Structure 1
Amino acid sequence: MSDAEPPGDFLDPASPPKRTLLLSTGGAVIIAAVIVFAAVLPAEYNQDPLGLGRATGLSRLWAPKEITVSAHAAAGPLARRQPATFRTDTFEIALAADGDEGRRNALEFKVRLPKGSTLVYSWQAEGLQVPENLLFDFHGHTVAAEAKGAVSVAEYEKGSGAEAHGSLVAPVDGIHGWYFRNRSGQPIKVRVRLSGFYQLVPSGQEGNLAGIQPETTPPSVAQR
């Protein structure tokens, strides 16, 4: 018997034909795809493109991940009582044109908020042609006359624009609000709407040196 290599087209009689191998591989791929679309997607990802998940009940196995939310978040309890009465006010703040000799083109307006109290706000500038010409600084701090030691200051937002809307949970006892500055060549008005558990700062005191008063006083406050 010769020791030469067998010819290239020699086939082992025990090996399956290539056609059989291709059919087996294709069948395995199809079965795997059916399992993915019929079982894995409905049960794990709530996706049921073939409708078999609903028919077999596998789609009921899926549920979103549950995250336990603590009733006491880092900023304090999510539900709390407030020491001040809830109120709603609208203020009209007039700002002179830039370059006014009396420097009436800028002022600060704040309200008093105990720590943890909520303020909802919305303000819009009227008569402002270029939004970038109105500068604002939204911040809060403890009252210097009441502070023991250093004054605590909290910066919320600085920028420019014709309006802003949002809410605040006061991080410290003190006065919280805005510094507005009109840099345009025309006088403007800023209409500020507030709701929440705040108190007004008396005219002439820190936070309301300009003596800004609400347009209307709620009956519950007027009767005090």
Structure 2
Amino acid sequence: MTETPNAPPGRPMGRGALIASTLGAAALGALIVLGAILPAEFNRDPLGLGRLSGLSRLWAPEQQEVGATSGSAPRAREYDTAFRTDVVEIPLGEFMAGADRSSLEYKVRMRKDATLTYAWEVVGDVDPRDFTFDQHGHTTPKPGEGMKVSSFRRGFGLRQQGAITAPFDGIQGWQFSNAGERPVVVRLRLAGFYELVPAGQPGNEAGIVANVAAAQARP
């Protein structure tokens, strides 16, 4: 059998061709990194090719799972009480009108873990140092039962805004007191899961009527 002679080796690539091939490969690699990998993986698009090609839409930040509860309370809740909003205008007399006209308590009824958002402001010519509020709540126990009390914030000022999460079934709200020389109106805006307390019951002993002008709000 006749043996086929080995093919002659190819000619080595010239120095210039080798440099050109290396530079071309480096340029292609850089283009792939800048135009494809950075937009798709790191949300960086220095050449604008990721936006044009749609690769930028492939990027997504690393997800961090957050628990469904904060402590023992769930972050998302559902309530049996219907959502509602109200505006309550509370007229308060000047200090010399007597404590029964210059100070009162106004609360709403809330179930445990229900949320109330609120904002109130004092309308009238009064020094902030002459107006006090005490934000608190309590249960309405039957005779012989103990009372649970919540104390949120107290101080001087002409406005407050925030939210309350009821720590128990009961009533939550404010004691407002005007120590100034002029009558004022507290305009209270409420939204959330609560019920208005009927006139004369604990939390609304003054008989304040919601959603009417201040002149008709207090008997």
Structure 1 residues 126 and 159 mapped into 2: Cα distance closer, same or farther (>3 Å)?
same
Q: Give CA deviations for 1:56-99 in whole Å, capped at 9, x if unaligned.
A: xxxxxx987754211132323413233x1111111111111113
* 1:130–1:65 Cα change, 3 Å: farther
CA contact (8 A) 1:76 1:116 kept: no
Instruction: Look up the match of 2:107.
Output: 110
DSSP 3-state at the match of 1:103 = helix
How has the CA–CA distance of structure 1 residues 65 and 154 changed in structure 2, closer, same or farther, with 3 Å as cutoff?
farther
Q: Distance in 1 between matches of 2:185 and 2:168?
A: 29
Q: Distance in 1 between the 2:75 and 2:64 partners?
A: 18
Q: Which residues in structure 2 correspond to 1:124-203 (within 5 Å)? A: 124-145=121-142, 148-155=145-152, 157-203=153-199
The DSSP-based 3-state class of the residue aligned with 1:145 is coil
Matched, 1:75 2:73: yes
1:44-123, aligned counterparts within 5 Å?
66-73=63-70, 74-82=72-80, 84-101=81-98, 103-123=100-120
**4+ runs of 1 displaced by more than 6 Å?**
62-65
Separation of aligned partners in 2, 1:209 and 1:144: 16
Give the alignment's Cα RMSD to 1 decimal: 3.6
Of residues 201, 205, 218 in structure 2, which corresponds to 1:205? 201
SS at match of 2:108: strand
User: 2: distance between equivalents of 1:98 and 1:170?
Assistant: 32
- The residue that corresponds to 1:215 in the other structure is 211
Q: Which blocks of at least 5 consecutive residues in structure 1 are unaligned?
A: 1-45, 49-61, 217-224
Unaligned stretches of 5+ residues in structure 2:
1-42, 46-58, 213-219
In the alignment, the residues of structure 2 paired with residue 147 and residue 109 of structure 1 have an alpha-carbon distance, to the nearest angstrom, of 25
TM-score (norm 2): 0.65
Cα distance in 1 for residues equivalent to 2:82 and 2:60: 43
Secondary structure of residue in 2 paired with 1:94:
strand
Question: Secondary structure of 2:96's match?
Answer: coil
Q: Which residue of 2 aligns with 1:31?
A: none
| Structure 1: distance between partners of 2:113 and 2:140 | 16
* Counterpart AA for 2:74: G
Matches of 1:150 and 1:108 in 2, distance apart?
17
Q: d(CA) in 1 for partners of 2:125 and 2:156? A: 12
- Deviation per CA, 1:131-183, whole angstroms, max 9, x where unpaired? 2221001111111337843424343x111111111112211110000100101
